[in-house]
Amino acid sequence: MATLCKPAVAVPEHVITMEETLALARTRHADHPQLPLALRLIGNTGVTRRHLVQPIEETLRHPGFEQRNALYEREAKRRVPDVIKHALNNAELRPADIDMIVYVSCTGFMMPSLTAWLINTMGFPSHTRQVPIAQLGCAAGGAAVNRAHDFCTAYPDANVLIVACEFCSLCYQPTDLGVGSLLSNGLFGDAVAAAVVRGHGGIGIALERNHSHLVPDTEDWIAYSVRATGFHFLLDKRVPGTMEPLAPALREMSAAHGWDAGDLDFYIIHAGGPRILDDLCRYLEVPPEAFRFSRATLTEYGNIASAVVLDAVRRLFEEGAPPDGARGILAGFGPGITAEMALGSWSTARPVHDPVLSTRRVVGYAPRVTRRPPVTVTVTAPLP
């Protein structure tokens, strides 16, 4: 059974606190007619600090989309490899053991994807599958786990590396003055995360079922407007209320598996904001403490987009392993409105080591068979 091993997470060294965020908003938008509302919404996020790839002075400047995207690529290549190394160590694997890389990011663009650079520079096999996901936003963390689970179900000997690289601060647009944009400026942070899904062995969440759900007619509630200046984030005021239609989807998936979504042992939920977590607690009838991992991510890092679910899983590990067989749910929410959900139980099975790594088979490929012409054998009777 495919197992999600302990993730590795890193945040940049530049920090902005809630107090500094509110002070900046007051200074830069003193004449904004809805400034009191924006300040109240930012204050209600519960985010105490966020990490940025640049000092705040540089973040507030806009040198143009080309320079920002070049910075995204440069910082991704600088920061991602170390996080991958830690994730591989957590799974007790090497780059040579990886069959697929799922790379998720919605805050910069590269073609070819960073996956090609990783394969060329970190020793991943040339046959490693590449699955870049760029347009699922915050839901992409859950989608990455689910696609890794699907691949390991199809190829049980496979190992999949998940990488989430989100530099949300590079999407700051100084001319976007809507309340949703001002709220986003105080909510989103930067982070890099990675984790391995092992087809066999490993300690972590043994993935058992996954599901996707799209809330009809909400595709314009979370979106990017792509302009000459880059990605402009659009956030509809109805987004915080999306747990009402999504909670039943979580319950239905759990019920189909014979589980009760309101009676599980751990919850890994995308921390888009406190309202989402509060509403989901109410709809699933679970105590606020059930979402402590997601709340901690939101408080300490802000909304780090697709990396949220991996950081929440990391916190589950670091709190102390749940009992073997403990049941849980993982869910990410993003544009669409899309939910990517998974069910799993805690497993302490040790990794299964391949004694001959150099001859490890290529997952998904049958060995080439050379067909030779039939050999005709003539049997001659012995002479009398």
Show the domains of the chain with their CATH numbers.
3-347 (3.40.47.10)
Mean pLDDT to the nearest integer, 344-368: 60
Tell me, what's the pLDDT at 364? 65
How does strand 266-269 pair with strand 129-133? Answer: unpaired
Element spanning 284, H or E? helix 274-284
Mean pLDDT to the nearest integer, 64-86: 96
More confident residue, 351 or 151: 151
Distance CA 209, CA 342 (A): 6
Retrieve residue 384's tokens: 């009398």
Mean pLDDT to the nearest integer, 95-105: 97
Tell me, what's the pLDDT at 352? 52
Q: What is the pLDDT of residues 288-298, one digit of tens each?
A: 999 999 999 99
Total Cβ atoms within 10 A of residue 59: 18
Q: What is the pLDDT of residues 261-285, one digit of tens each?
A: 999 999 999 978 888 899 999 999 9
Report, as residue numbers or ranges, the catalytic residues: 138
Unique residue bearing structure tokens 């497993």: 347
Q: Flag whether pLDDT at 361 surpasses 80.
A: no
How does strand 159-167 pair with strand 100-104? Answer: parallel
Q: What is the pLDDT of residues 27-72, one digit of tens each?
A: 989 889 999 998 999 898 889 999 999 999 999 988 889 999 999 9
Distance between the two ends of the chain, CA-based, in angstroms? 66
Mean pLDDT lowest for which of 144-153, 218-227, 248-257? 218-227
Q: If 0-12 CB within 10 Å is exposed, 13-18 middle and 19+ buried, where does residue 299 land?
A: middle
Global pTM? 0.89
List the one residue out of 115, 113, 228, 229 whose CA is nearest residue 170.
Answer: 229
Total Cβ atoms within 10 A of residue 384: 3
Contact present, 77 and 115 (Cβ < 8 Å): no
Distance CA 23, CA 307 (A): 27
- Which residues, 6 or more positions from 258, have their beta carbon under 8 angstroms from its beta carbon? none
Mean pLDDT to the nearest integer, 120-139: 94
- Which residues, 6 or more positions from 173, have their beta carbon under 8 angstroms from its beta carbon? 62, 181, 229, 230, 232, 233
Report DSSP letters for 127-170, one per residue.
T-EEEEE-SSGGGHHHHHHHHHHHHHHHSTT-EEEEEEEEEGGG
Distances (CA, A) of 327 to 3, 46, 65, 150, 197: 13, 28, 44, 19, 17
Contact present, 18 and 47 (Cβ < 8 Å): yes
Distance CA 216, CA 250 (A): 16
Please, which residues bridge with residue 346 across strands?
A: 205
- Which residues, 6 or more positions from 265, have their beta carbon under 8 angstroms from its beta carbon? 322, 323, 326, 327, 328, 346
What one-letter code names the amino acid at 327?
A: R
List the one residue out of 126, 124, 129 whose CA is nearest residue 95.
Answer: 124
Contact present, 306 and 112 (Cβ < 8 Å): no
Q: What is the pLDDT of residues 248-267, one digit of tens each?
A: 999 999 999 999 999 999 99
What one-letter code names the amino acid at 272?
A: G
Mean pLDDT to the nearest integer, 88-113: 96
Contact present, 215 and 336 (Cβ < 8 Å): yes
Distance CA 139, CA 305 (A): 8
Retrieve residue 341's tokens: 């959900």
Please, which residues bridge with residue 102 across strands?
A: 131, 162
Mean pLDDT to the nearest integer, 79-99: 97
Mean pLDDT to the nearest integer, 117-124: 96
Total Cβ atoms within 10 A of residue 124: 22
Q: Flag whether pLDDT at 357 surpasses 50.
A: no
How confident is the prediction for the chain on average, in pLDDT?
89
